[in-house]
Structure 1
Amino acid sequence: MKIAFHFDSQHESLATFYGLDLQEKIFRLILNHRNLSANSKVFVGDLLMMMIARDKTTISETQFSYSFNEEKYLNVFYHWANPQNVTWKRYSEENIEHSFGKDIYVICFESIDLKTAEYLNTELENNPAYLGALEVDDSSEIHWILYSQSLIALGRIHNDEFNLFHQPEDDTEDLLINDYETFGFKKINPESLNGRYTIFDTYSNFEEARRIAEWKRNSGGLLAFIADEIVSKLSDIAPDIGNKLWSALKTFEDSETNEQLAQVTASCRRIFEYVVDCIFPPSDEKMDGHSLKADKYKNRLFAYADTSRKSSTNIDLIVATTKTLFEQWDKLNSLANKGVHSEVFRAETRRCLLRTIMLLDDIVSLKEKPFDIKPNLNFDDIFGKNASG
């Protein structure tokens, strides 16, 4: 999610150089949280609604004059406050009205998750200059001009490190590295933008931004559909799948240490084993010389895929996905034993969780008809042993 946090830059609580102070407040909130993971470009600056609501008059080839257009400002303000596709907004109507005609300072994260956005908004509500936060809609030209075209590309936060952006022609000695070192970052690094976000950048235009915004919005729906279909279809034959997936995700979100993240990996393996037990229970028989006993989960999954025979392509996909997932589990176990940094382990664990979900989607794809509903009630206990009579 692309989220912008807004502040009344004229508020009496702010000092003259309020930009650095407000940046420090937000960055310290992220750094002081025990298990937030932040990896995003950061853009800052004033919300230039007044500037884009001006009329331009040509005086000569080199001279122009500008005049404020109140009607244009009203239109800009309305479309800023009411973008068509915003799904997340923590900006009260009272503060929207208060923002009219105000100088507003913005700190915008190009990509943060909902949990981080909610946390920052809640903590910032105690700041008297804070106005609110909203999701930036780059498919709205007004939003694109205000946030993507007009704000300054400040840097990139990567958990407890921060990269300060600069262009190739800039002198890196002029970067305010010393100022940002006081914020609590483990390390401050210079990072060249190599012409990005300049007039020479062929990808910094509204049409490109609109396509990306639409892709983000639609891909989120696609992933949500996959998750919904997995639970809907597998819960018939594996009724506890919803609880197990919820538990794995909850553990991941709350994890602070490698040991806790390792529990997510173990949960992913148990989810896989549970589903295989449900769709192809253990057997003393063999198939193509391969054992189908209780501990032979891969063999039983491949046997199920083979007996389904939906297509050879699906079977090959199942084999490849399962192989990758098992390699991922082995890699995570190795990382845990080596005691790698928790940030690395978190990223690997997230991929493991996503691969598990995609494998479940592959398993669902093997079944053309619905799975049989597995009985999960003991009718004798509920109605008595003679209920059927």
Structure 2
Amino acid sequence: MASSDYILQLVRQALDDFDDRPLDVSVRRAVRIANLVGDTRHAIRLSLELRPTGGDRHTNGEISRMLMADSSTWGSGTGPAEQAVAQYMNDRKMTSPNGEDAVQMHSLTELEFWDQELRDLKGRGEPVNYEVDLASRERNGNIVARTRHLTFALLCSWERRFGYTSINESIFGGYRVKVDTLLAEGVPDLLQQFNAVYRRLQEAAEASPERDAAEELSQAITTCRRILKVVVDHVLPPQEEPSASGHSLDDAHHRNRLYEFTKQAIESKSQNKLTDVMIAGLYDRFVAVDTMTNKAVHAAMALETANLCALNTYIICGEIISLHDLQADASDTY
């Protein structure tokens, strides 16, 4: 998947060149960007402005499906592809010379060609129906202007959207580098285990609608549980003696040990409470995914919850190891 920085670079290049390049160049760039960001409706809508008249109907359909983020909606009647075609037809409505309703199907390149042909005819002094010529040029000019306006507006909206996203990715990227470093130094094997989680989630995301991805999701969550236990074992190994509040701290009760560790590591009661809430929320998500996969809940919902589990496991593991290192530094100071 293209990064937000890369997409933002493409958008800004298209905007910077917008007034200096032919319109079809900007439209092709916009189709590419829409395809990268998964905006099926606008990818197909603008691609129709570039499609020459005629051609094999099956091939034309295949080309449109190539631009769809989810081709399973093709032919549904209400999907993004159908919406794009309907908008295109509405924008291209016209009245033919014999007074019948019609649709101007020529591409932007063809419209430019025929406009130049009319100019050349008049330049050579050949007879031209000026009334028809004026109506045609006005109609085609409106089509070009609408396409130019849509393309420019989309590029502007993507610039704003990916400008924000790029900042967010930069912030999270800095945090990811920090957590990866903590994991590599504290519990090196965890990075490989996180990669295994992401592979399982990717396999689940790529599974066909007909295939149940519950096994991949279950494996991903099981690995998340193991990762969290390894981190807890690292910061507070199993103990035979219970906590001061009477909770068992043996190997099987790693959740008790995690709460005990945060209580010891964080002096601020408010911060301690916040961390405990985050940990409780993570365990609740573990249970939620198990319930969803066992009950065959809608795959997209289960996948979204599993993704949140993986992300929260990663963040909480980073916080736990960071707290452990701070605690160790404080002990060394004294």
TM-score under structure 2 length normalisation: 0.54
1:236 corresponds in structure 2 to 185
Residue 276 in 1 paired to residue 220 in 2? no
Change (3 A) 1:336 1:227: same
The answer to whether the 8 A contact 1:227-1:357 is kept is: no
The structure whose residues are more often strand, as a share, is 1
Counterparts in 2 of 1:17 and 1:145: CA distance versus 1, 3 Å:
farther
RCO comparison, higher one (Cα < 8 Å, 6+)? 1
| Higher helix residue share | 2
8 Å Cα contact 1:308-1:366 kept in structure 2: yes
Q: How does 1:149-168 map to 2 (within 5 A)?
A: 149=153
Q: Measure the CA separation in 1 of the matches of 2:172 and 2:284.
A: 24
Unaligned 5+ residue runs, structure 1? Answer: 33-39, 46-100, 104-143, 152-205, 373-389
**Aligned pairs (5 A) from 1:215-226:** 215-226=164-175
Task: Please say if 1:360 is aligned against 2:307.
Answer: no
The residue number in structure 2 matching 1:344 is 301
Residues 200, 217 of structure 2: 8 Å contact kept:
yes
Whether the 8 Å CA contact 1:236–1:371 is kept in 2: the answer is no
Whole-Å separation in 1 of the counterparts to 2:54 and 2:183: 55
Letter in 2 for 1:219: N
Per-residue deviation, 1:211: 4.4
Select which of 245, 252, 271 maps to 1:295.
Answer: 252
Aligned to 2:34: 4
Distance 1:330 1:224 in 2: 29
CA–CA distance in 2 between the matches of 1:14 and 1:284? 77
| Residue 333 of structure 1: how far off its partner (Å) | 1.2
Percent identity between the two aligned chains: 20
The match for 1:317 among 274, 279, 293 is 274
Task: Give the letter aligned to residue 180 of structure 2.
Answer: V
Deviation sequence 1:266-294 (CA, Å, 0-9, x none) = 11111111111111110112222221100
* Partners of 1:291 and 1:299 within 8 A in 2: yes
The size of the alignment, in residue pairs, is 216
Give me the whole-angstrom Cα distance separating, in 2, the residues matched to 1:9 and 1:303.
64
Residue 227 of structure 1: how far off its partner (Å): 2.1
Measured after TM superposition, the shift of residue 150 of structure 1 is 5.8
Give, in whole Å, the separation in 1 of the partners of 2:69 and 2:271.
48
Q: Which residue identity does 1:360 align to in structure 2?
A: C
1:214 pairs with one of 159, 163, 186: 163
> Any unmatched runs of 5+ in structure 2?
8-32, 36-42, 74-78, 86-107, 111-147, 208-212, 330-334
Note if 1:26 corresponds to 2:26. Answer: no
Once superposed, what is the RMSD of the aligned Cα atoms? 3.8
Q: What one-letter code is carried by the residue in structure 1 that aligns with 2:153?
A: Q
Contact 1:226 1:361 in 2 (8 A): no
**Aligned counterparts of 1:24 and 1:12: Cα–Cα separation in 2:** 18
Note closer, same or farther for the CA distance 1:19–1:220 as it changes in structure 2 (3 Å cut). Answer: farther
Structure 1 contact 310–366 (Cα < 8 Å) conserved: no
Larger Rg: 2
* Structure 1 runs of 4+ with >3 Å offset: 5-8, 10-22, 24-32, 40-45, 144-148, 208-212, 367-372
Structure 2 CA distance for partners of 1:368 and 1:276, relative to 1, 3 Å? closer
